[in-house]
C-alpha cells in the first residue's frame, strides 16, 4: 500500500486550482460592482476558508496532545500551524491587493483585517515557542496550550463582519455569489483543501519522525567531576581542572638504563 497518497492529492489539488482560476479569469463574468478586480475572489475566499479550517485542525490536535501526550498529536499541531500560518499570510497579501483598487488603500485597521493580522502574530508565537523549548514534553504542553489560546481569535475573525461595522464584504458562499461563479469557486475551494491537506500530511510525517527521535532519546549520564589537587600542607587547591598537563621534557621517573 502506498503511504504517500498525499503527493497525488496535492497534484490533484494543484490541477483543480489551475482549472478553477482559468475559468474564473477568462470564462466567468466580471463582478457587477468591481469588474475584473473581483476575480481575485477565486483565490482569496478559498484561502480564507481552508486557512481557518487548518487552524481548527491545529486546535483539535492541541487538545489531543494535552490529553494523550503522544508525539503524533504534537506533530500535527506543528504541521497544521505551519500550513495555517502560510495560508494566513497569503490571505493578508491577497486582501491587501484587493483592498487597493476597491478601498483606495492597501491596509486599514478594519475589524476583519485586524483580527486576521492578530492570528498571524498569535500562531507565529506558537511556532517561535516550539523553536525555543528543547525538552519535548514541556514543548508539547506549552505549545498546545498556546495553540488553544491562539485559536480563540479564529471564530472572532470569522464573525467580525457580522459583529462590527466593517468595510469588508459579508460572508462569501455559493448563496451570496452569482450562479456563474459558484462552480469555479467550489472547485478552487476543494483544490485549495486538497493542496493544504497534502502539505499538512507531508509536514506531519517529517515532524513526527523528529519528535519520536527526541522522545525516545536516552538520558545522557552526568558529566564527570573535575580533578581537584590540594596542597597537603595548607589545604589550598593548586589545580582545579578536568585534566592535568604533563611535562614530558622533565620526566618524574628515571629512564631505563640510568645508574
> What digits encode the pLDDT tens for the residues 147-164?
999 999 999 998 888 888
Give the pLDDT score at 243. 47
**Euclidean distance between CA atoms 41 and 37, whole angstroms:** 9
Say if 239 falls within a structural domain.
no
Positive or negative torsion for Cα 15, 18, 19, 20? positive
Instruction: Indicate yes or no: pTM above 0.85.
Output: no
Closest listed residue to residue 52, CA positions, set 26, 2, 99, 87: 87
* Whole-number pLDDT of residue 84: 96
Q: Does the residue 194 lie in any domain?
A: yes
Q: What would the DSSP string read from start to end of 169-221? A: -----TTTS-HHHHHHHHHHHHHHHHHHHHHHHHHHHHHHHHHHHHHHPPPPP
- Report residue 237: phi and psi, to 5°: -75, 125
Task: Kindly report, residue by residue over 169-178, the tens digit of the pLDDT.
Answer: 766 666 667 7
Structural domain includes residue 250: no
In the chain, where does DSSP find H-type helix? 5-26, 41-68, 71-103, 111-132, 136-151, 153-163, 179-216
User: pLDDT at position 91, please?
Assistant: 94
In a domain, 222, yes or no: no
Give residue 71's domain range.
5-216
Stretch 11-28: mean pLDDT, rounded?
92
> Do 16 and 186 meet the contact criterion of CB atoms below 8 Å apart?
no
- More confidently predicted of 172 and 52: 52
Which residue in 85, 90, 91 sits closest to 126, CA to CA?
Answer: 85
32 is a domain residue: yes
Q: Answer yes or no: is pLDDT of 37 > 90.
A: no
Residue 114 lies in a domain: yes
How many structural domains compose the chain? Answer: 1
Query: What would the mean pLDDT of 116-125 be, rounded to a whole number?
Result: 95
Q: 74 or 255: whose pLDDT is higher?
A: 74
pLDDT at 255: 47
Distance CA 50, CA 80 (A): 11
Confidence at residue 238, expressed as pLDDT on a 0 to 100 scale = 52
Residue 1 has a pLDDT of: 41
Q: Which of helix, strand or coil describes residue 234?
A: coil
| Per-residue pLDDT tens digits for 237-254 | 555 444 445 454 555 545
3-state secondary structure of 228: strand
Question: Does residue 184 lie in a domain region?
Answer: yes
Distance CA 37, CA 27 (A): 14
Q: Look at residue 253 and tell me if it is in a domain.
A: no
Please write the tens of the pLDDT for every residue from 203-216: 999 999 988 888 77
Report pLDDT for 244.
47
Residue 211's closest CA among 121, 151, 133, 122? 133
Across the chain, mean pLDDT equals 84
Amino acid at each position: 500500500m502506498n503511504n504517500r497518497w498525499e503527493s497525488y492529492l496535492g497534484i490533484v489539488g494543484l490541477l483543480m486550482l489551475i482549472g478553477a482560476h482559468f475559468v474564473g479569469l477568462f470564462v466567468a463574468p466580471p463582478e457587477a460592482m468591481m469588474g475584473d478586480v473581483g476575480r481575485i475572489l477565486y483565490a482569496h475566499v478559498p484561502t480564507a476558508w481552508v486557512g481557518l479550517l487548518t487552524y481548527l485542525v491545529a486546535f483539535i490536535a492541541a487538545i489531543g496532545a494535552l490529553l494523550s501526550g503522544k508525539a503524533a498529536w504534537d506533530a500535527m499541531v506543528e504541521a497544521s500551524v505551519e500550513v495555517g500560518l502560510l495560508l494566513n499570510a497569503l490571505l493578508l497579501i491577497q486582501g491587501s491587493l484587493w483592498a487597493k483598487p476597491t478601498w483606495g488603500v492597501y491596509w486599514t485597521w478594519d475589524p476583519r483585517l485586524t483580527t486576521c493580522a492578530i492570528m498571524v502574530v498569535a500562531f507565529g508565537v506558537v511556532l517561535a515557542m516550539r523553536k525555543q523549548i528543547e525538552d519535548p514534553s514541556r514543548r508539547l504542553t506549552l505549545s498546545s496550550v498556546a495553540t488553544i489560546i491562539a485559536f480563540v481569535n479564529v471564530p472572532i475573525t470569522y464573525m467580525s463582519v457580522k459583529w462590527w461595522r466593517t468595510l469588508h464584504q459579508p460572508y462569501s458562499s455559493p448563496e451570496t455569489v452569482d450562479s456563474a461563479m459558484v462552480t469555479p469557486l467550489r472547485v478552487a475551494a476543494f483544490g485549495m483543501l486538497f493542496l493544504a491537506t497534502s502539505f499538512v500530511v507531508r509536514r506531519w510525517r517529517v515532524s513526527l519522525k523528529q519528535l519520536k527521535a527526541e522522545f525516545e532519546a536516552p538520558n545522557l549520564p552526568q558529566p564527570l567531576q573535575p580533578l581537584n589537587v590540594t596542597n597537603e600542607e595548607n589545604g589550598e587547591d593548586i589545580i582545579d581542572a578536568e585534566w592535568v598537563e604533563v611535562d614530558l621534557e622533565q620526566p618524574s621517573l628515571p629512564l631505563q638504563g640510568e645508574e
